């Protein structure tokens, strides 16, 4: 078990973008699958192979932006604190401020990009319930990433990808037929 944890940390440190892409491709797609299972009340696999590959590619692409946002918003938050635009905070308070800044700015773009990429293969302009995606930034992603940013940096992307599965579970229950 210790060897696995060390290997994960080493891989995440040596190949941060590739590991972000891999984790989100697997866990983000799995979150969508779980959501469909719950909504349909059936464990039948909800996508064909092409849809699965597309969803994995979408999540991998989004992971690149997420990884850069995680790094960039730390610098952004630190600079705002240094310049006196934000109060001096540390620990949980810092994690909350960082999460709020990132999700209220980058999160909006991410929700929009995810929807655009989901719409591409379907050749549709489906903007239905987009507001729910924006609201999830407030009730789910800010609290979730507050916890995420209390962890050591090498574990943050993995937890962020895992949160996608939890959000899939939650959304599945809210959208049951």
- The 10 Å Cβ neighbour count of residue 79 is 11
Mean pLDDT of 131-143: 96
> pTM for this one?
0.93
Taking 70 as the threshold, does the pLDDT of residue 1 lie above it?
A: no
pLDDT tens-digit series, residues 33-66? 999 999 999 999 999 999 999 999 999 999 999 9
pLDDT value, residue 176 = 84
Say which DSSP state 165 is in: H
CA atoms within 13 A of residue 81's CA, in its CB half-sphere: 16
Taking 90 as the threshold, does the pLDDT of residue 2 lie above it?
A: no
- Record the tokens describing residue 174, joined without a space: 């809210």
């Amino acid at each position: 078990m210790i060897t696995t944890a060390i290997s994960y940390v080493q891989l995440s440190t040596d190949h941060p973008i590739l590991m972000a892409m891999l984790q989100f491709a697997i866990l983000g797609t799995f979150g969508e699958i779980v959501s469909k299972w719950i909504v349909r009340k059936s464990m039948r696999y909800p996508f064909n192979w092409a849809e699965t590959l597309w969803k994995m590619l979408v999540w991998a692409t989004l992971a690149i932006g997420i990884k850069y946002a995680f790094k960039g918003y730390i610098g952004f938050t630190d600079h705002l604190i240094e310049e006196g635009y934000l109060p001096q905070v540390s620990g949980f308070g810092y994690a909350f401020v960082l999460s709020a800044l990132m999700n209220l700015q980058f999160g909006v773009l991410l929700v929009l990009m995810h929807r655009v990429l989901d719409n591409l293969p379907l050749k549709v302009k489906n903007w239905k319930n987009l507001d729910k995606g924006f609201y999830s930034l407030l009730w789910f992603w800010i609290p979730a990433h507050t916890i995420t940013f209390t962890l050591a940096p090498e574990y943050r992307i993995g937890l962020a990808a895992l949160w996608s599965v939890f959000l899939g579970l939650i959304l599945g229950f809210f959208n049951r037929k």
